[in-house]
A and B are shown apart, each in its own frame.
Chain A
Amino acid sequence: MEKVTDAMRSEIREIVYDFFAQECERDRNEITDLTNVIDDLDGDSLLFIELLQLIKKKYGLTVSMQSVGKYMLQNRAETVGKVIDLMIYVMENQQKLA
């Protein structure tokens, strides 16, 4: 299990918020952890894949997209807060999801 520091958590939070604000053309201040990505931001499922690719690239992760996809089937990430939790989970469980 990888150690995700508080600084990294904050950074991931910023990345996720910025990503949804930009992709969904919303003011960042409109978005909270409880914002629903599909219903409130009019987002689409491909957003999750793009965000995961962004995180993978930034942190050099070696996780398999398919493994993360299977995990997401059991652990749905519908809100922005849940998406942040998911990204942190992925970072902390790289080997399991490789």
Chain B
Amino acid sequence: MKKKVVITGADMITPAGIDLASSWDSMLKGESCVRQISRFSTADLETTIAAEVPDTFNDLVSQYCRRRAAKQMTFVSKMACVAAIRAVQSSGVDFAQCDRRRAAVILGIVNTGYNSLELGQDNDRIVKAMSNAPSAWISLEYGLEGPNFPIAAACASSAYAMSFAYEMIASGQADIVITGGADSTICPEEIRGFNQILALSTRNSEPQKACRPFTIGRDGFVMGEGAGILVFESEEHARKRGALIWAEMAGYGLTSEAYNIVSPKPDGAGMALTMEKALRHAQIKIEDVSYINAHGTSTPLNDKYETEAIKKVFGHYALHLPVSSTKSMIGHTIGAAGAIEGLTAVMSIRNSILTPTINYDEADPDLDLDYVPNIARSHDVNIAMSNSFGFGGHNATLIFKKYN
């Protein structure tokens, strides 16, 4: 029999704030974090804007990571470690009291961000660049002897990681899994690369209005960065130690588009299949879903197809179902997006409030869902769905449920 999987702790580092509380507050205020890129010259780039994690994060690292370890980490690994340590603190788990052989770390990592901004500073290339570094550092921090590994599935990486974390616990292979993801792709070569495939917004003159999912004026996504880490635990293990349970992870759906290396299947067929699969897996009826945290990238195709997919899956109920995009405020955090947005959905469950889709000023007449425009909304959320769709056709839908 499958074990129930619950969330007992979490943290996030985002362009909106260097911890969960400040990020959440900023999102509820509907603040855009998109600015001119500050870390390097953008003179020869088509896109000169992004949503960067505040520099104050760097002051935080020494509080959580030993100097020696920090020296061997990239910015991505540092974000993953700091968020993981705070997530564990928030869960109240004491690994000295746990069977560490039954504790795992599974993170969504596209790469560790060992890019031109980090190169040439040291001779720790291998340790810094290996994609398993963030999960390995977390395992080392707590002496966890269950498996630790990264999963790469582009923009769905951390949603995939959370799905496998769920499976480890549900199947009884682990009691506790530190999961989520971290990413930073704000560097000249990545911006240039995404510009080449016409994925990024070039609304450089109005950075704070650049990310505008589901509107007629959307012209591409805005690069973000950050980390989202959650502590998953079996209900049995969490209750035994008297942990506060934030929410339940009720199920997931994973699919491959098998269509095109970057473009989603027309009409959102693959996205719809993913959501249907997740609903079946979680044994949830469509009318029980209270909210969808959309992938909502602000690209012409994603927003169109995601809307069509939601309408296909939910039928008439789709028009009564609030759908919002966290990316409108913090940009696209790529490998971390599934975790940050999944955690945002969990926070909506806990606080009965939905984060808005900002910059929703001129609707696309073809996209007619309730996108929670511009202002956060009080709303009782019993079940929340979080979508992540990645280049390569990696689709993931996660379902979270209020814990009773």
Contact indicator per residue, chain B 121-141, by CB within 8 Å of chain A (1) or not (0): 001100100000000000000
What 1/0 flags go to B53-78 for Cβ under 8 Å of A? 00000000000001110011000000
Contact B124 A46 (CB under 8 A): yes
Residues of A within 8 A of B127 (CB): 46
- Per the 8 Å Cβ criterion, residues 19-77 of B in contact with A are 66-68, 71-72
**Secondary structure of the A side of the interface?**
helix
Give the residues in chain A near B66, CB-CB below 8 Å: 25, 42
- Residue A27, interface by CB 8 Å: no
0/1 per residue, A26-54, Cβ < 8 Å to B? 00000000000000001110110110010
CB distance from B95 to the nearest CB of A (A): 17
A23 contacts which chain B residues (CB < 8 A)?
67-68, 71
Interface residue? A61 (CB, 8 A):
no
Instruction: Judge if A63 is at the interface, Cβ distance under 8 Å.
Output: no
**Residue ID in chain B nearest A53 by CB atoms:** B123
Chain B residues with CB under 8 Å of A24's CB are 68
Q: Are A25 and B123 in contact (CB under 8 A)?
A: no
Contacts of A50 in B (CB 8 A): 123
B67 to chain A, nearest CB (A): 5
Quick one: closest B residue to A49, CB to CB?
B123
Across-interface contacts of B71 in A (CB, < 8 A): 23
Complex Cα spacing A30 to B169, Å:
43
CA distance A24 to B66 in the complex (A): 8
Q: Give the Cβ gap from A69 to chain B, nearest Cβ, in Å.
A: 14
- Residue pair B68, A44 in contact (C-beta under 8 Å): yes
Bound CA span A47–B72, Å: 11
| Neighbour of B67 across the interface among A25, A47, A49, CB < 8 A | A25
> Bound state CA distance, A44 and B67, in angstroms?
13
Q: What is the CB-to-nearest-CB distance from A93 to chain B, in angstroms, rounded to a whole number? A: 23
B62 to chain A, nearest CB (A): 10
Q: Determine the chain A residues whose CB is within 8 A of the CB of B67 once the complex forms.
A: 22-23, 25
Q: List B contacts of A22 (CB < 8 A).
A: 67
A4-36 CB mask vs B (1 if < 8 Å, else 0) is: 000000000000000000111100000000000
Report the minimal beta-carbon distance from B341 to chain A, rounded to whole angstroms: 35
Tell me, in angstroms, the Cα distance from A48 to B289 when the chains sit together: 56
Q: Which residue of A lies closest to B126 (CB)?
A: A46
- For window 85-131 of B, CB contacts with A under 8 Å fall at 123-124, 127
Q: CA–CA, A25 to B68, complex, Å?
A: 8
List, in ascending order, chain A residues with CB within 8 A of B124's CB: 46
Q: How far is the CA of A77 from the CA of B127 in the complex (A)?
A: 22
Residues of B within 8 A of A49 (CB): 123
B403 to chain A, nearest CB (A): 38
Residues of B within 8 A of A53 (CB): 123
Per the bound structure, the CA–CA distance linking A42 and B66 in Å amounts to 10
Query: What's the Cα separation between A43 and B69 when bound, in Å?
Result: 9
Closest partner residue, chain A, to B68 (CB atom): A23
Other than the known A22-B67, A25-B66, A46-B124, what 12 A-B pairs have Cβ atoms closer than 8 Å?
A23-B67, A23-B68, A25-B67, A25-B68, A42-B66, A42-B68, A46-B72, A46-B127, A47-B68, A49-B123, A50-B123, A53-B123
Q: When A and B form their complex, which 9 residue pairs have the shortest distance between CB atoms, in order from nearest?
A: A23-B68, A25-B67, A24-B68, A25-B66, A46-B124, A46-B127, A25-B68, A23-B67, A44-B68
15 pairs, CB–CB < 8 Å, chain A vs chain B: A22-B67, A23-B67, A23-B68, A23-B71, A24-B68, A25-B66, A25-B67, A25-B68, A42-B66, A46-B72, A46-B127, A47-B68, A49-B123, A50-B123, A53-B123
